[in-house]
Structure 1
Amino acid sequence: MTAPLRIGSYAIERLLGVGSFATVWLGYDRALDAHVAIKVLAENWSHDLRVRERFLDEARLLRRLEHERLIPVHAVGELPDGRPYAVLAWADGGSLRDRLAVDEIPAPAALRLLGEVCAGVAVLHRHGVVHRDLTPGNVLFRSAGPDGAEQVLIADLGLAKALAAASGLTARAGTPGYMAPEQDDPGAVVDTRADVYGLGRLGIRLLAADPAGANPTRPDQPRRAPEIRLRDGVPPGIAAVLAQATAHRPADRYPDAATMHAALTRASGPPGRPVRSTRASGPAGLTVATGPVRQRPAPRAGARRPSRLRLAGAAVLAVAVVGAVGAESGGAGSARRVGGTYTTGPLTVALPPGWSATGATWAGQYGADGEPEPALVMSPRPHRWAADPRLPGAFVGLSASTAARATPAGFLAERTHGDCAPAPARATRQAGVEWTVVAYRCDRGRPQIIESAALHPGRPALVYVQIAPPADSGPAFVDTLLAGVRLR
């Protein structure tokens, strides 16, 4: 991957992290003599409107909440190729995942840290937001003063939604091992109790003597508490708190992070000190590096690694969005335009006047052979339509793997647009294909987005078409475009 020289007004120094949906760079503001983390939407997902919405919603949400326990966002922008980026504070102390990879955190500090994380998630809950992906990688550390003190920050809200939008039919989202059982059910209500489960699993990772042995309860045993054997130095009452937090049924858990935090405090005995330290605190401290980024020497052979590594590593993880799509150039299959049509693999589309097409694979969707499944984007300017709300366009993808797990109606139920109002789903038959169509009216960005899906009439595969229609067009434009989708 070639590093850009600049993003906006920031000089790029190095890569911080790469994920499926975004890339994070370390940027430097020369005028302010400050480093920032710049998260850029991955190119192969930039064509999908829903992924862009999630990406920008995370930045807007962090900006709106603007709390010392949440990763700060400074600005958003757009690259010349149309991909959005967000400028975030650089968490120079790295993540909890990084630290646990080096050594275990001493029990008293781990318990205080869990309380700090609960307090951060409680901020989200007070504002009606559920995070849905609380993992060690989403707990970050940032220098907070010259004495070596640091802030504990909650980050990566790419899966977070307002509670009003987080219930009902939603896409499966979360990290196995920390994800609440109900998040695996697309028809379940996901609320603050899902975050309580994630906090409980995080607590087990930090405080249990055998985290792998404290397995989640099975669906056929919803009332059985997980067996939690605590590390030495952890008050025994903490086991009951973690067991209640990780109960299989949401109704058996604490209602929110603040209530769980209060239970932790009661079970811990006298209130602990804040998670702070100085550089001289030794292995039990939570220290971070300050000043310029520099390489540290490798530890001496045979020396025990300290329980705290002064990290200047990945600051913000790439957003993880499950169940979204994007077009990716290249890949398997031929892609060609013939007259007023465009063909890639088994997909052929009739192009509206003035439109062209591009793309050959459906990013993130893989068939039984491990190869990406086919897709294309068509628009008057295919490479710009997702970034420019004034441009009409459409994404078309064909997936056998999706057909194996979802009906067309079920797949569309996963692809709601939180800021838009849906019309009732309608059915239309075009060119021998039975389509389910849902139209969304939106208050910002594009005034209308059409989601549509159908089963391939000749083989087990689902065809999905997302349309941003021209202004003032009606259902006839949508039906004509769907009638022009031919499947081999």
Structure 2
Amino acid sequence: MTAPARIGPYRIERLLGVGSFAMVWLGYDDALDSRVAIKVLAENWSHDLRVRERFLDEARLLRRLDHERLVRVHGLGELPDGRPYAVLAWADGGSLRDRLAGGPIPVPTALRLLGEVAAGVAVLHRHGVVHRDLTPGNVLFRSTAPAGDPAAGEVLIADLGLAKALAAASGLTARAGTPGYMAPEQDDPLAVVDTRADVFGLGRLGLRLLAAHPDSPHPDRPPAAVRMRDGVPARVAAVLRRATAHRPTDRHPDAAAFRVALERAVAGPGNLPAVRPSRRAHRFRVAGAALVALAAVGGVVGAEAGGEGPRRPASATYTSGPVTVALPAGWSATGATWAGQYGADGRPEPALVMSPQPRQWAADPGLPGAFVGLSASTAARTTPAGFLAERTHSDCVPAPARSTRRAGVEWTVVAYRCDRGRPLIVESAGLAPGRAALVYVQIVPPADAGADFVDTLLAGVRVR
């Protein structure tokens, strides 16, 4: 393969890799004295409009998210032959696949890496996106420390070409993923593919990092039959066993919950499930658009807008299924389903979003708003406090949890302060009176809201 001399304004130095749909070149920007990775759609797919659009969607998605845990996109271009290319930040530390090829990674480092990968996937889940192809080759590193430490550098999630928005990731989707890491439901074109498919991939990555025989992710063997390496805490094996369960309902609901469970297992019994902050968290940073697409930021549970009809104009109250809320002045609401949360009948559980502009709330960090969800399946497996413990914001600073009783509900409330994006995110959960269901409310108060805004809003949440 002959390397092009230039792609757009970039001088090409060498080929970095070739995949099924694209090739990646290392380019050099003379003006800025920096290197970039340039991903070019493969020539044999250039006339397939579906593949071309998928290629462009990946770049647009990464550009929109623009998060430090994901490979960043600097721009898009087109070759003279019409093939599109994306200019990406260069992950100069290589991939996890490269590092595993050099031999086993020490257990403490492997556990830390797995937690970092889960944190990156949690960013996608917060935005209502399922990756669907988590493999060692799609975990990259950007060097930030001297070479020699297998964990040196920032961990980046890459290759979202197979990613789908949660709202479009179910029903008649193309089979996608890598055998050994792909969730069983991804083989069924009619199955719902949601955040739990990525939890399966995280579990398989964990087996690849921590199993006694790491040459294979053991795609045909149950996790219970896989022996862990010496030094792996016994409780970690249980976390990986749950993550790789055949049935999605038996897995952790999302990447954030998986990460909390992993940290709890590493810390040992008797420890609170607090995620160990990364170097970024020490700086209390959070992405400006870190709020999930119509969903719980810390919960990585998405709400699919429009699930129960069009947006209604502002009024005193709004009802979605069994949930009725009192709307703050100037707010309206839209019905939704709670993506990633499923009842006994297999259907998404009910939710709603309210805000001055509910359909813009996820995309605009300047908007206040609230997400309200009701889940019987969650109440069957955990307590309100336990549910909130799964929905931590590792890049924000939490206040101590408090309790307040409003409208017959004993609420557990945790407020998170963040120095970028939405400055205050309030997580709250309680048991619905008279029902075996957990009601969850995430609130981003208006900047000028009084101290009683959160409690007043909670007092207006009613469940029939």
Asked whether the two chains share a fold, i.e. TM above 0.5, the reply is yes
SS of the residue 2:23 aligns to: strand
- Alignment check: 8 A CA contact 1:238 1:268 kept: yes
Map of 2:93 onto structure 1:
93
**1:202 matches 2:205:** yes
Deviation, structure 1 residue 217: 6.3
Map of 2:240 onto structure 1:
242
- The structure whose Rg is larger is 1
Q: Does 1 or 2 have the higher relative contact order (CA < 8 Å, sep 6+)?
A: 1
**1:54 matches 2:54:** yes
For residues 215 and 114 of structure 2, the distance between their equivalents in structure 1, rounded to whole angstroms, comes to 18
User: What's the CA shift string for 1:354-410, capped at 9, x where partnerless?
Assistant: xxxxxxxxxxxxxxxxxxxxxxxxxxxxxxxxxxxxxxxxxxxxxxxxxxxxxxxxx
For residues 4 and 137 of structure 1, the distance between their equivalents in structure 2, rounded to whole angstroms, comes to 25
Map of 1:252 onto structure 2:
250
Match of 1:171 among 169, 174, 177: 174
After TM superposition, the structure 1 stretch with the greater mean CA deviation from structure 2, 68-77 or 208-217, is 208-217
For residues 82 and 180 of structure 1, the distance between their equivalents in structure 2, rounded to whole angstroms, comes to 35
Residues 86-485 of structure 1 mapped to structure 2, 5 A cutoff: 86-144=86-144, 149-211=152-214, 215-216=218-219, 226-269=224-267
For residues 122 and 216 of structure 2, the distance between their equivalents in structure 1, rounded to whole angstroms, comes to 28
- Alignment check: 8 A CA contact 1:70 1:153 kept: yes
For residues 214 and 98 of structure 2, the distance between their equivalents in structure 1, rounded to whole angstroms, comes to 17
The size of the alignment, in residue pairs, is 271
SS of the residue 1:186 aligns to: coil
- Alignment check: 8 A CA contact 1:196 1:254 kept: yes
- Alignment check: 8 A CA contact 1:216 1:246 kept: no
Runs of 4 or more off by more than 3 Å in structure 1?
145-149, 211-218, 270-276
Q: Give the AA of the match of 2:208.
A: R
Deviation, structure 1 residue 232: 1.2
Deviation, structure 1 residue 212: 6.1
Map of 1:23 onto structure 2:
23
- Alignment gaps of 5+ in structure 1: 219-223, 277-488
For residues 120 and 213 of structure 1, the distance between their equivalents in structure 2, rounded to whole angstroms, comes to 23
SS of the residue 1:86 aligns to: strand
SS of the residue 2:225 aligns to: coil
Cα pair distance change 1:126/1:13, threshold 3 Å = same
Q: Give the AA of the match of 2:232.
A: V
User: What's the CA shift string for 1:34-92, capped at 9, x where partnerless?
Assistant: 00000000111100100010000000000001111000110000011100000001100
SS of the residue 2:224 aligns to: coil
- Alignment check: 8 A CA contact 2:239 2:262 kept: yes
SS of the residue 2:234 aligns to: coil
For residues 226 and 217 of structure 1, the distance between their equivalents in structure 2, rounded to whole angstroms, comes to 12
Q: Give the AA of the match of 2:264.
A: R
Cα pair distance change 1:274/1:208, threshold 3 Å = farther
Cα pair distance change 1:81/1:108, threshold 3 Å = same
Q: Give the AA of the match of 1:124.
A: L
Map of 2:40 onto structure 1:
40
SS of the residue 2:50 aligns to: helix
For residues 102 and 253 of structure 1, the distance between their equivalents in structure 2, rounded to whole angstroms, comes to 31
For residues 91 and 17 of structure 1, the distance between their equivalents in structure 2, rounded to whole angstroms, comes to 12
For residues 104 and 250 of structure 1, the distance between their equivalents in structure 2, rounded to whole angstroms, comes to 29
User: What's the CA shift string for 1:416-451, capped at 9, x where partnerless?
Assistant: xxxxxxxxxxxxxxxxxxxxxxxxxxxxxxxxxxxx
Deviation, structure 1 residue 234: 1.3
Deviation, structure 1 residue 21: 1.2
For residues 39 and 220 of structure 2, the distance between their equivalents in structure 1, rounded to whole angstroms, comes to 36
Deviation, structure 1 residue 195: 0.2
For residues 72 and 17 of structure 1, the distance between their equivalents in structure 2, rounded to whole angstroms, comes to 18
Q: Give the AA of the match of 2:204.
A: R
- Alignment check: 8 A CA contact 2:40 2:83 kept: yes
SS of the residue 1:98 aligns to: helix
Deviation, structure 1 residue 187: 1.1
For residues 109 and 26 of structure 2, the distance between their equivalents in structure 1, rounded to whole angstroms, comes to 29
For residues 139 and 177 of structure 2, the distance between their equivalents in structure 1, rounded to whole angstroms, comes to 15
For residues 273 and 33 of structure 1, the distance between their equivalents in structure 2, rounded to whole angstroms, comes to 36
Map of 1:284 onto structure 2:
none
For residues 217 and 197 of structure 2, the distance between their equivalents in structure 1, rounded to whole angstroms, comes to 18
User: What's the CA shift string for 1:302-348, capped at 9, x where partnerless?
Assistant: xxxxxxxxxxxxxxxxxxxxxxxxxxxxxxxxxxxxxxxxxxxxxxx
User: What's the CA shift string for 1:166-202, capped at 9, x where partnerless?
Assistant: 1111110000000000001111110000000000000
- Alignment check: 8 A CA contact 1:215 1:226 kept: no
SS of the residue 1:237 aligns to: helix
Cα pair distance change 1:32/1:94, threshold 3 Å = same
For residues 220 and 28 of structure 2, the distance between their equivalents in structure 1, rounded to whole angstroms, comes to 47
Q: Give the AA of the match of 1:161.
A: K
Deviation, structure 1 residue 210: 2.6
Deviation, structure 1 residue 20: 2.4
Q: Give the AA of the match of 1:240.
A: A
Deviation, structure 1 residue 245: 0.1
- Alignment check: 8 A CA contact 2:259 2:275 kept: no
- Alignment check: 8 A CA contact 1:214 1:226 kept: no
Deviation, structure 1 residue 144: 2.7
Deviation, structure 1 residue 258: 0.3
- Alignment check: 8 A CA contact 1:122 1:257 kept: yes
SS of the residue 1:53 aligns to: helix
Deviation, structure 1 residue 227: 2.1
SS of the residue 1:23 aligns to: strand
Tell me how large the CA RMSD over aligned residues is.
2.0
- Alignment check: 8 A CA contact 1:70 1:120 kept: yes
User: What's the CA shift string for 1:199-247, capped at 9, x where partnerless?
Assistant: 00000000111346874467xxxxx753232111111100000000000
For residues 212 and 77 of structure 1, the distance between their equivalents in structure 2, rounded to whole angstroms, comes to 39
Cα pair distance change 1:146/1:110, threshold 3 Å = closer
Q: Give the AA of the match of 1:157.
A: L
- Alignment check: 8 A CA contact 1:73 1:88 kept: yes
For residues 217 and 145 of structure 2, the distance between their equivalents in structure 1, rounded to whole angstroms, comes to 37
Q: Give the AA of the match of 1:118.
A: A
- Alignment gaps of 5+ in structure 2: 269-273, 280-464
For residues 146 and 213 of structure 2, the distance between their equivalents in structure 1, rounded to whole angstroms, comes to 36
